[in-house]
Amino acid sequence: MDHPSPGSPADRVHPAVCAHTHLFPGGSCRLRELPDPEGFAAAPRPLGLALRFSDGVVVADAELLVAEDGDTVLTVPAYTTGAGTPISERLWPVRKLLPDGEEVEVRVGAPAQL
């Protein structure tokens, strides 16, 4: 897969809430404040994200990127959990985008370290 290169998406930064202190294969986060969640899940576009993890840590410069072939990845820069565990920068392949009311659940696969 040719990964899209990180950049500054034209859209504003959207909040995303994660149920854990970090992502892992099969883990997920929920995108909020999308104008059309069902449309976004069917045809994703690049977005700037502010990921809020369960320990209160916010990673404000994450991005959802979409390649020309439709493959979607979540880029998360390095950060430190609330307990002090360093998490390295990762590129997470998006396995599913599931609309759920006014949110979209993003499920990720196994990451690639950058």
- DSSP classification of residue 54: T
CA 101/CA 85 separation, integer angstroms: 33
pTM score, two decimals?
Answer: 0.85
- Confidence (pLDDT) at 98: 97
Quickly state the pLDDT bin for 113 (edges 50, 70, 90): low
Question: Token pair 């998490």 is at which residue?
Answer: 87
Read off the pLDDT of residues 2-57 as tens digits, 9 standing for 90 and up: 444 444 444 589 999 999 999 999 999 999 999 999 999 999 999 999 999 999 99
| pLDDT confidence of residue 45 | 95
- CA Rg value for the chain: 13
Tokens of 23: 């992502």
- For residues 45 and 61, is the Cβ–Cβ distance under 8 A? no
